[in-house]
Amino acid sequence: IMKANIKGESMAPFINGVPYEVGLINAEIFKDNIGYTESKKNLFLKYASIHPDKILSLIGPYADEPFADSLLVVAFFQSPKQIYDYAQATESMQGKLIGRSADNRIKTVVELSRRNDALWFFPFLDDLISGKQTIENISKYVGDDSSHRYDSVGYYKLLVRTEIDYYNRLAHRDTPIAMLGVNGLVDMLQRKAVEHFINPINELHENPNPSIRFKAIEPLGPADLYYMIVMGENDIFTSSYKYSFDKMMQRMGKKPKADSLLLLVNFDKFKKFIKMAAGYNRLDTFLQTMPRANSEALMKAFVTNLESTGTLEDAVDVADSYGSITNKEVLYSMLVNIAENENKCIKNNDRHGQKIYNLLKTIFLSADSTRKIDLSALIGIPPVYKVDYKSLAGDTGVVVEQVFFYGDKDGKASYREFISSFPSNEWRISSEKEWVEIRSIKGKPVVIFANLPLDNVTDKDADAQKDLIDYLNSKNISPTVVIHRGHSYHLPYTIEQLPGSAKIIMLGSCGGYKNLKQILDYAPEARIISTKQTGAMGVNRPILNYLNSTFRAGQDVDWRKMWKNLDAQFAKAPRNERDLYDDYIPPHKNLGALFIQAYNIMETK
């Protein structure tokens, strides 16, 4: 370039022949070269190919170039929403470029940009462009200023039908432009499922009348309920899920065929659906409605290609599902399929896949106590079957517990029951303004801090939790046992406040990759007791009593021994209480959490 510059020749051919970063540095050195303008133009093209999401923000100076229209189409596929935003700025260089485009796809977005309700139409952009849908037809559901009002059910059903169609295209390697991203179809479907159906039935969770509580989902068909369930994984309550699942099965007729439903939705998000069905004890019900060969093929697909997803979420879903399934034939089939996939990854020299499938196989086999597999020795994670007393008591010799309460009606009732479980001849209770301190007066020292369930409407319970944590920190007190007492919708607030020192965590419904990963990010050595439902007082009390008795005796917590004791105790309990207990998952069977811990340790080696 320097020699060309001395000769008065253009540097453009040299700039074109090098990567963008190299060309950019050199072009800026020789700004006086006669080829500078052409070089900058070509550098922009290089940059646009690397960062298509930045095309519209930088194309202004090149809006009149012959390549501008082609780049506009590239930008459209990257984000139709960007085209919409710039189209509204009609006097800008980008707005003028978009406005004069002859491309039918761009013209459709321009037409939408003139509407105040355009974002409601974006999920259907592919169909609008192809002529499969019209703005007039969608307006019947979105509503307009004349004869139509917003039809939340009709709009949601249209989203579901479009998702089924778009996913079919995606399965055939034809990605719809309006399917993903902000305000895309998946985003809108998830928002409307939660807004119009899940939130209303969750909010009425205390209403005992199903016809009132579940009125919102009454107009929905099987496919509509299927998408509502999978889209609302992180929002739906246990009771809401179970009723919705049963309603979905009922809506399929007297002899429901689950495989027909999955075919109808093109198996979209079926792994998430299976994981949730297993977690809520509905998987056997679902599988029994299809021929055995089909159920076996479905479960085989469930554990296949876990190495190619880019995250551990599907693998954790598989681990959690295995821990929830009771059908021995299904469990055996899953183990066989896991081994086959491991062998496939070995053959393909896929180390990531080998790691995933080997861990799953080892953890699944360890779930069978007759095999006597020691995960701590094999994988290097903290002891699976017990927690040492010394690790709980630490240098101070005191086991410290922290209990999170919430100030709604159920939280206050739970708090009263909790306090009543400490007899005065064994424990001393002292009250502060925002919390209580409960100390053992027999056996080894145990101290329990619990915030008061103050009014949650004005966030006084949240203030009490924060002030208690500040107090513990100021005294260098590190809880090694944490207990969540509250509905599942309070759980995220407890998780965000977990101390890293926690070795035992007892939570209500905490399933899901996101929750488990977050818990272990805060407390990487924690052993988690969870339930597929909201924690029940009649079950929590025996569990906590057993733990506290073990702590005061200065003994290690042996999960297998503890659960054997609890099994015997609840075998004599009323059926309703026994059913609630059966939904509790002891740490050594919380397979999703074990998988994440094991994988994280292997990654650091």
Res 183 pLDDT > 80: no
Give the mean model confidence (pLDDT) for residues 360-376. Answer: 78
Query: What is the pTM for the complete model shown?
Result: 0.71
What is the CA 446 to chain-centroid distance, rounded?
36
Distance linking the first and last C-alpha atoms of the chain: 48
Strand stretches in 320-462, DSSP E: 386-387, 399-405, 427-431, 435-440, 446-451
pLDDT of residue 453: 95
Place of tokens 């008591």: 393
**Measured distance CA(556)–CA(30) in Å, rounded:** 73
Res 146 pLDDT > 70: no
**Tokens representing residue 215 in the block:** 């009125």
Res 136 pLDDT > 80: yes
**Measured distance CA(9)–CA(234) in Å, rounded:** 63
Confidence class of residue 512 from pLDDT cuts 50, 70 and 90?
low
Q: In terms of pLDDT, which residue wins out, 495 or 80?
A: 495
Confidence class of residue 394 from pLDDT cuts 50, 70 and 90?
very high
pLDDT of residue 509: 58
192, 232 in Cβ contact below 8 A?
A: no
Query: φ, ψ for residue 191 (rounded to 5)?
Result: -65, -45
Cα angle 326-488-228, degrees, rounded to a multiple of 5: 75
pLDDT of residue 222: 96
Give the mean model confidence (pLDDT) for residues 335-340. Answer: 93
Report the chain's C-alpha Rg in angstroms. Answer: 29
Q: Where are the alpha helices (DSSP H) in 512-590?
A: 513-522, 537-552, 559-570, 575-582
Confidence class of residue 340 from pLDDT cuts 50, 70 and 90?
very high
Winning range, highest mean pLDDT, from 147-156, 212-221, 370-379: 212-221
Tens of pLDDT, residues 259-302: 999 999 999 999 999 988 987 888 889 998 999 889 889 999 99
Point out which residues pair with 585 in neighbouring strands. 530
Confidence class of residue 194 from pLDDT cuts 50, 70 and 90?
very high
Confidence class of residue 398 from pLDDT cuts 50, 70 and 90?
very high
Helix (H) or strand (E) holding 484: strand 481-485
**Measured distance CA(309)–CA(298) in Å, rounded:** 18
**Measured distance CA(590)–CA(9) in Å, rounded:** 70
Tens of pLDDT, residues 426-466: 999 999 999 999 999 999 999 999 999 999 899 999 999 99
Give the mean model confidence (pLDDT) for residues 386-397. Answer: 94
CA quadruple 77, 79, 81, 84: dihedral positive or negative? negative
pLDDT of residue 86: 82
pLDDT of residue 510: 57
The DSSP-derived string for 54-117 is GHHHH-GGGTTSTTHHHHHHHHHHH-HHHHHHHHT-TTSHHHHHHHT---HHHHHHHHHHTSTT
Res 551 pLDDT > 70: yes
DSSP 585: E
pLDDT mean across residues, the chain: 88
**Tokens representing residue 46 in the block:** 């290089």
DSSP 506: E
Which of 550, 540, 545, 510 lies closest to 528, judged by CA?
Answer: 510
Place of tokens 């159906």: 197
Tens of pLDDT, residues 469-482: 999 999 999 999 99
568, 548 in Cβ contact below 8 A?
A: no
Share of the chain above pLDDT 70, in %: 97
